[in-house]
Amino acid sequence: QGDLVAGNQREVGVIYKDGALTSGLTIDGSITDATRYLELTVAAGQRHNGTAGTGATLDGQDTSGQNVIILDNYTHLEWLELKRHRGTAATAAVSVRAANVLLNHLLVYDYDDPTFNVRGITLSGAGGNSFIVRNSIIFDGDGSGVQGDELTDTGIIENVTVYGMVGDGIFDESSTLTVINSISMGNGGQDFRLTASSLSYSLSEDATASCGTCLNGRVPANQFVSLTAGSENFHLKAGADAIDAATTLAGFSDDIDGDSRPQQVAWDMGADEYIPATTPTPTSSPTPTPTNT
């Protein structure tokens, strides 16, 4: 509720995993810029590991209005789990009505409303809004996983995994999205429903990942550790098509649970960077040398 630019300050809220959060949040009222902004994060040691139910959680409790609405430019939101968001049409677990918003390391899931069209992460409002969605997993949802809005809205979607929407996986809806290194599969509509947007180094189950660097027609069960309802695990499994099939990007160097992405070789598609299990190398024990006595 102040002028962070004039005060030369950044305001950071830190969440701990000491019980579910059950009230919605609106971030609004401050003057911000690229280096002085509002940030909401989760404390180290309290963060999810890329699977549901392991970190600090905002629980929508199957009701409307229990979501995050961002109205301040340059806001950062990261490391939070958001689940069970329901409500009126076009609502979303995270609704961005501002510019230059960063959404990072988010888990958004279980928001399939039988009555209304609910989104996971969306741009909304009168236009001119923008976000970066990065290193996030969105699954078991309704209308879409990530969605644009107006002609003047823009978005960048980097290393995001979307699975199991009733509608479309990633949908630009007139806005301009740049989608790269992302996976969208198992959706009732199109995995990537993009008109004026760009798509590269991405993977789909249907034919919509049709760029020259994309992979389509792939089998979801071959990509992820588990698709079993209630115990989903969207880390990549050994042999997944998405491994080493993406490109390196600037601005970040980790994945959904903080593992490092290699900087000299190809990244993996989606939110997870596959880390192969390592077998310990046996070391020989010293052989005692007998001494004459």
291 — pLDDT class (breaks 50, 70, 90): low
- Across-strand partners of 144? 119, 168
Q: CA end-to-end span of the chain, whole Å?
A: 85
What pLDDT digit, counting tens, does each position of 109-126 carry? 999 998 999 999 999 999
Query: If you average pLDDT over each of 87-96, 168-177, 259-268, 272-281, which comes out highest?
Result: 168-177
What pLDDT shows up at residue 287? 56
What pLDDT shows up at residue 263? 87
- By the 10 Å C-beta count (0-12 exposed, 13-18 middle, 19+ buried), 217 is classed as exposed
Encoding tokens for residue 227? Answer: 């698709």
What pLDDT shows up at residue 20? 82
Q: What is the mean pLDDT of residues 182-206?
A: 97
Token pair 């990537």 is found at 192
What pLDDT digit, counting tens, does each position of 220-255 carry? 999 999 999 999 999 999 999 999 999 999 999 999
Instruction: Examine the pLDDT at 276 and tell me if it is beyond 80.
Output: yes
Per-chain mean pLDDT for the chain: 94
Among residues 173, 178, 141, the alpha carbon closest in space to that of 159 is found at 178
Instruction: Examine the pLDDT at 1 and tell me if it is beyond 70.
Output: yes
What pLDDT shows up at residue 19? 86
Q: What is the mean pLDDT of residues 87-116?
A: 94
What pLDDT shows up at residue 62? 93
DSSP assignment letter at 265? S
280 — pLDDT class (breaks 50, 70, 90): low
- CB–CB of 24/65 below 8 Å? yes
What pLDDT digit, counting tens, does each position of 7-23 carry? 999 999 999 999 889 99
What pLDDT shows up at residue 219? 98
What pLDDT shows up at residue 182? 98
Q: What is the mean pLDDT of residues 163-169?
A: 98
Q: Under 8 Å CB-to-CB from 195, ≥6 apart: which residues?
A: 172, 174
279 — pLDDT class (breaks 50, 70, 90): low
Instruction: Examine the pLDDT at 285 and tell me if it is beyond 60.
Output: no
What pLDDT shows up at residue 100? 98
